[in-house]
Amino acid sequence: MGQNATWPTRTHGPDCRSETPHRKCHTPKLLARHLDNGRLAEALARRYLLNRGLQVVTENYRCRYGELDLIMRDAGLLVIVETRYRRQSTYGGPIESISMLKRRKIVRSTQHFINKYPAYRNVSVRFDVVGLTGTLKAPDIHWIAGAFTLDDMY
């Protein structure tokens, strides 16, 4: 391999791919907007669920397996909520965007949370999804209680 097009060497200098972002979403301004939209969508989902009687346990729980957007209580159940926002549903809605891999990460993160906080070990768990579409000023909110179960994983 006489020529190097993708990785840095002393002869060829830095990796040419790292000089400019190859996707628009990686530019700092657009990435910041994307994160702001995600935070706003999670806040709207939280408020929507609070208005329906759920109680917040914690938000944005992070562990080595992933992140849980919302952990809530609903009549004795521990409810794990994944929030998804899509401005348009051209390529599938927000709920369809949750892959099997993402579901497994949610389940593993939930197991980590329960192991870390033993008070929740004997509490039944439900996995919900809140999908938001349209503009964040007036979104269409779709809540699917029990969107998936542990049986769906295996």
pLDDT digits (tens, 9 = 90+) for 82-107: 999 887 666 666 677 788 999 999 99
pLDDT digits (tens, 9 = 90+) for 28-86: 555 455 557 778 889 999 999 999 999 999 999 999 999 999 999 999 999 999 999 88
Is 137 inside a domain boundary?
A: yes
Q: Which residues span the domain enclosing 140?
A: 20-152
Strand partners, 9: 13
Tokens 């995600």 belong to residue: 38
Is 1 inside a domain boundary?
A: no
Is 89 inside a domain boundary?
A: yes
Is 134 inside a domain boundary?
A: yes
In 18-124, beta strands by DSSP E: 55-63, 66-74, 77-86
Our count of domains for the chain comes to 1
pTM of this prediction?
0.74
Pairing of strands 77-86, 66-74: antiparallel
Is 7 inside a domain boundary?
A: no
How far the first Cα of the chain sits from its last, in Å, is 44
Is 10 inside a domain boundary?
A: no
Rounded CA gap, 117 and 123, in Å?
A: 11
Rounded CA gap, 66 and 107, in Å?
A: 9
